Structure 1
């Protein structure tokens, strides 16, 4: 019996030398010795198509194969074009090749490509190519479906879309897109009839354009006057992206004329990446609604403003007392207003301390003398008819916090004028006084508080306990020029010896009266005798009448 020699020939063959990408392909391997006898051996399959798969990858020929084995659906090729299937018997160092033409399958996807990393707002072209499931270009007839283009950039634009492929496109069309949103974006093409036919270009990096505007945000509100606050300045391009490359110099200002800044100007650095936080960088001091603005004048950027910042007053530091009328008639109640202020001139609306009133007028009275501010006062309380001054002249009223004497305020320069006359006072008549001799005295009108009633213009009548008394004049009408004081020069002559008094009484209001009591009139000296031819003797003192 003669057995076959070692295999020396390996031949691959098929009924068709073409296949469709992704479709199983059947072929036959023949293994012979040098004499044409059927041989045995192990055959391993491979292909120029790196995506190809085989089932099985290696096959061991047996005597039953009689030198021939058919690999039914044994190979699947995926890459369109001229490919080769190779069988190799490594032990016998022989191989055989089978040329196969692979054609693309039906449209299954799009390849979107060519859009580069870009700056926001810059337009670029890209291509959309129709391929089969394995990335092969389609055979004739070409893809003629309609595709819609979309992007993850909500601000991006793509033209044209939708678009119907033409046969002349040869499965590939060019489009233009503009992406505006910084970050990593994608562009997707989708068949409008068969949405499963789709493709995406990913990883498109869009960087911000040049800075065009500034934004300022983050300052606390409400904020107590004088308390530093943090604010953040951000540069944006025209599309609303943070302008990470901004390195301009910005300046901070405020509607608060008392505002202060740790750094009113700041030069952005590359490390800022378009955002800079001014930590405790701004202090506002004027109560009310304020704003802070950041500008970059050299680069003509649109300024940014952090508006609507409510600044509340700080704690009370001083007190102001105002409003008491001047001039004011003695004894007439007047209204005065106490206002508490913080260190920055704001009304200290949260003040709830106790203030006590005093005055340079020792006769002053207050209603009340002390007052506890309430929340509803909001730092301001008006004391209606709360102070009464009684001493004529220039006076002042002072309010002082009972716990902190440095919180005090004075309403000064208040001119208190005398009230209407309430009494008269007679003074100055000589005592003792010789009967029959005239003497001078002064009548002064006083208001109820001891002030000279400078406005008194009443008429007074003079009387005396001396029934023989005479007056020149017996009645007198005060004039404005008297200013409440009139001296009656030699105005009264008392004649009855003893202790006498002189009284002046208002003719209209008898309660307005005054008496100079205790005037003593000694008896009149007798005339001395004289002899003819001799001069009369002289008495010491004034000559009698």
Structure 2
């Protein structure tokens, strides 16, 4: 407040400076007892009605006079007096004030809910809640706050409309109620306001109208009373236990309404007020039928029935085994019974012991013979034992015993086992151990058809068994199949023609075969001579690689010397093909010489050819001709062109086809020889230049061509044989079809002139062609934006040149200012254009370019940028190897050290730098030797980094205890920049434990990192105010 000393005319008494002891009045104490205060000149808060020293300067208060009211009221008149002067006696006016409540702080119960209530009935007295500030002032202007009521003490849910909206700061509830009979409290809440909690409310039950199970039946075992007997209560509609309205006597009867029974024991009890008084406890109920899902219903006249929870009756102790499913009455040997037996483990009441998952039951054969097969033990699962793969291998009738320890065992019904399917063949009678070729075996084999368990399939009269030779060679003779009779297959006339030791396989479809013992077969008398080794691998001029071997044999082609004389000559002659047959052609095959075998050693034929056959003669013995055989030509020794090459156009196939003949030293045509042709003269011989001779000794080349014009010859070779040269022939040039560069690609420095570029007019094969009358205009172009063409004398920029009439070439030059690999093109109407890639390298470096540092960017973030050396045309100067240094407008910047470019940089290098000072900054790079080579990237916007500290400033010092003063908090980054993006929450502490400090505050974007606060220090001495981020405690100041 500003207080003035005035005269009777209301003029300020400006000649007064000093203190006045003033007493203020007119404002009242707040509901919580807080009294209004005015600060003295020292800053101390003084209650109204007590003298307060105010300092004046020139008649106007200059220290003290800060009013702090606490009661919401008004308008009221604030007056003051110093004992002599007052606002009334001097004509001075008091101050009219209206004091409004502070922010909502707490909820206060104005009217408690009724102390007693009935379940389900609205409280007779409903709650009324006041919304007050921290000083107890009612927020009369609050018409929006929503207050929520909820049960605090107790177990159920508060009923009715549990939210209400303020009207004039008062919140009234209208229909709150509660359904559970118990003592509760009601809690009232609204946002951050301090909640209010009601007094206790004792809720009583309503009238009893139903029965309910308060203890459920359970722990039941067949044959015994329930371990947990049911307890039934009378209840109201909300499930509260109640005896209201209950008669003196009322019977409750229990029945079993779900699950098998019967229910046994005393099923009726008196629940009336003169007996159970609302509760009955049953004591001897039992059910002997085990099972789940059993349920009891309690009924009493005039009350709704009560239904128990579902419960389970467990079986009694296991007593015996019972067959639930018999094994199949018939079965096949070795096959699992279908169905398999299933055994139940039951108690003495016949209940399955469903809790049994451990008892082991064993199956064994009782009646019959043999051993029961499969897994003979099985473990119970929920009281049931299931066997999975029981079977029996013997065809008989059996029964099965099932046993388990002391449990009463059980025996199955009869199971008749039939033989299995036929599985294998077994030899009942072996064939003779010895025999003569072609004669039936003295002992013929007999074969049994059995199942896999060795049982004869005696009813099998259809299976066909096949006999075949296994060991040895040749084909088994006779009737090779036999049909079973009563499971036996008998063979009658088996024999073998090949003299060897054999075994016989007996097979039938998928049945396992049987193999006989060995049978030794001997040959019969020799009756002819045959080739045991055929002549072959014959080459003209050399003995056969395979010399013939002949043997005496019987009629079945068995080697035999039976009946052979001591001496008998064998003569060979060539009866088919050209010869003659040379060498020793007669040998003795008699028992005193070759003893049935003769081997020729030096036979040969010099005439190459195919289909040659030898014939044998040996006395009265029959004979066989040899197989047909070939005599190959010898190695090539003669080579000749039989069709010379003829003249042709460039690129065209030479016709007729060039043909070369290859022969050996005996004049035989050599097939399979690879003839290779090569070109003698300029150019390339195209086509298939290696051909293989056919049976006629000829190699035919039908796709040869040559692109270069001129006189040529061909050279023919076969391995080391040759070369043989053809006669000369001519290749003629074709019509002009394209342009081609004769000069090689050039490497130029940007801006410099090339050497001569020469373009030639050519045919499709690259042979030069002359321009016709009037010459040929050649248009020039380049893919480079900096490229252009010059005449040979470098006087004029040109876009075309002309090949003179009768000439084939034209010259020009090229210049380019852009580094790269441009394609230079020469084109003319109707012709394929010529393209050539030149290389343009940068010129001498004369400048630097700095670019790429991102903007905007946060302070103290490492970022990359690029420095490029440039030539006079703006190309990257790839040869630059100078040293550069860096500077920045940011004096805190962390810059790269001096750097010397190396060859692999190719004039471009990436650097990293960190800028720290907020604002527009720049980075400059300069050559350390040539200062003219420099460049700067400007206008890099640096934004503050994240806050790391607070700067707390501005609080007045020295000051008077209790005086409020403003101070400023600034969020700072690590580099002294204001952290304008700081949006954290700050809280305050002080070394002055009496200090009045601001509450926690969350910075907003409009604060831009700076906020002004107010605080009052109250304890004399040197003190501090500290701000700290509520999340990151390291941010403080």
Shift of 1:104: 4.5
Q: Name the counterpart of 2:1026.
A: 400
User: Is the contact between residue 946 and residue 979 of structure 2 (CA under 8 Å) also seen in structure 1?
Assistant: yes
Q: Name the counterpart of 1:174.
A: 811
Shift of 1:372: 4.0
Q: Name the counterpart of 2:884.
A: 250
Closer, same or farther: CA 140–84 of 1 in aligned 2, 3 Å: farther
Structure 2's unaligned 5+ residue stretches are 1-637, 661-668, 791-796
User: Is the contact between residue 878 and residue 908 of structure 2 (CA under 8 Å) also seen in structure 1?
Assistant: yes
CA distance in 1, matches of 2:649, 2:1001: 102
Q: Name the counterpart of 2:787.
A: 156
Shift of 1:29: 9.9
Q: Name the counterpart of 2:866.
A: 232
CA distance in 2, matches of 1:396, 1:135: 103
CA distance in 1, matches of 2:725, 2:1016: 129
1:118 to 739, 748, 760: 748
Shift of 1:128: 1.5
Alignment map for 1:374-389 (pairs within 5 Å): 374-383=1004-1013, 386=1014
Shift of 1:9: 11
Show CA shifts across 1:53-78 (max 9, x none).
58999899xx9xxxxxxx99987443
Count of aligned residue pairs for this structure pair = 371
Shift of 1:30: 13
User: Is the contact between residue 27 and residue 72 of structure 1 (CA under 8 Å) also seen in structure 2?
Assistant: no
Q: Name the counterpart of 1:207.
A: 841
User: Is the contact between residue 922 and residue 936 of structure 2 (CA under 8 Å) also seen in structure 1?
Assistant: no
Structure 1's unaligned 5+ residue stretches are 1-5, 32-39, 64-70, 409-545
CA distance in 2, matches of 1:406, 1:217: 36
User: Is the contact between residue 26 and residue 72 of structure 1 (CA under 8 Å) also seen in structure 2?
Assistant: no
Shift of 1:174: 1.8
Q: With CA pairs under 8 Å and 6+ residues apart, which has the higher RCO, 1 or 2?
A: 1
Shift of 1:301: 1.9
2:903 to 246, 270, 277: 270
CA distance in 2, matches of 1:89, 1:140: 42
- TM (norm. structure 2) is 0.30
Show CA shifts across 1:411-442 (max 9, x none).
xxxxxxxxxxxxxxxxxxxxxxxxxxxxxxxx
CA distance in 2, matches of 1:84, 1:215: 63
- TM (norm. structure 1) is 0.53
2:737 to 98, 101, 107: 107
User: Is the contact between residue 989 and residue 1027 of structure 2 (CA under 8 Å) also seen in structure 1?
Assistant: no
User: Is the contact between residue 882 and residue 927 of structure 2 (CA under 8 Å) also seen in structure 1?
Assistant: yes
Shift of 1:286: 0.8
Closer, same or farther: CA 359–147 of 1 in aligned 2, 3 Å: same
Q: Helix, strand or coil: the match of 2:1006?
A: helix
Closer, same or farther: CA 212–311 of 1 in aligned 2, 3 Å: farther
Q: Name the counterpart of 2:893.
A: 259
Q: Helix, strand or coil: the match of 2:877?
A: coil
1:127 to 758, 772, 787: 758
Shift of 1:364: 8.5
User: Is the contact between residue 104 and residue 139 of structure 1 (CA under 8 Å) also seen in structure 2?
Assistant: no
Show CA shifts across 1:221-277 (max 9, x none).
5544234434332323344443222111112122212213252x2222334332333
Q: Helix, strand or coil: the match of 1:146?
A: strand
Q: Name the counterpart of 1:189.
A: 826
1:138 to 758, 769, 780: 769
1:311 to 943, 951, 960: 943
2:918 to 287, 299, 309: 287
CA distance in 1, matches of 2:972, 2:722: 108
Q: Helix, strand or coil: the match of 2:728?
A: strand
Show CA shifts across 1:318-365 (max 9, x none).
4142397x99999997654432322322112233242538699x9986
CA distance in 1, matches of 2:966, 2:724: 124
Q: Name the counterpart of 1:496.
A: none
Q: Name the counterpart of 1:21.
A: 650
Q: Name the counterpart of 1:539.
A: none
CA distance in 2, matches of 1:162, 1:44: 48
Alignment map for 1:405-444 (pairs within 5 Å): 407-408=1036-1037
Q: Name the counterpart of 2:707.
A: 78
Show CA shifts across 1:496-543 (max 9, x none).
xxxxxxxxxxxxxxxxxxxxxxxxxxxxxxxxxxxxxxxxxxxxxxxx
Q: Name the counterpart of 2:499.
A: none
User: Is the contact between residue 109 and residue 133 of structure 1 (CA under 8 Å) also seen in structure 2?
Assistant: no
User: Is the contact between residue 685 and residue 704 of structure 2 (CA under 8 Å) also seen in structure 1?
Assistant: yes
Shift of 1:148: 2.8
Show CA shifts across 1:461-488 (max 9, x none).
xxxxxxxxxxxxxxxxxxxxxxxxxxxx
CA distance in 2, matches of 1:179, 1:131: 28
Q: Name the counterpart of 2:588.
A: none
CA distance in 2, matches of 1:260, 1:87: 78
CA distance in 1, matches of 2:974, 2:703: 94
Shift of 1:388: 7.2
Q: Helix, strand or coil: the match of 2:920?
A: strand
Closer, same or farther: CA 285–396 of 1 in aligned 2, 3 Å: farther
Q: Helix, strand or coil: the match of 1:215?
A: strand
Show CA shifts across 1:7-33 (max 9, x none).
99999797xx7x6433556689999xx
What's the RMSD between the two structures over aligned residues? 5.1
Closer, same or farther: CA 222–72 of 1 in aligned 2, 3 Å: closer
Q: Helix, strand or coil: the match of 1:376?
A: helix
Query: Are residue 341 (structure 1) and residue 972 (structure 2) matched?
Result: yes
Closer, same or farther: CA 255–44 of 1 in aligned 2, 3 Å: closer
User: Is the contact between residue 129 and residue 173 of structure 1 (CA under 8 Å) also seen in structure 2?
Assistant: yes
User: Is the contact between residue 150 and residue 189 of structure 1 (CA under 8 Å) also seen in structure 2?
Assistant: yes
CA distance in 1, matches of 2:774, 2:687: 30
Shift of 1:52: 4.5
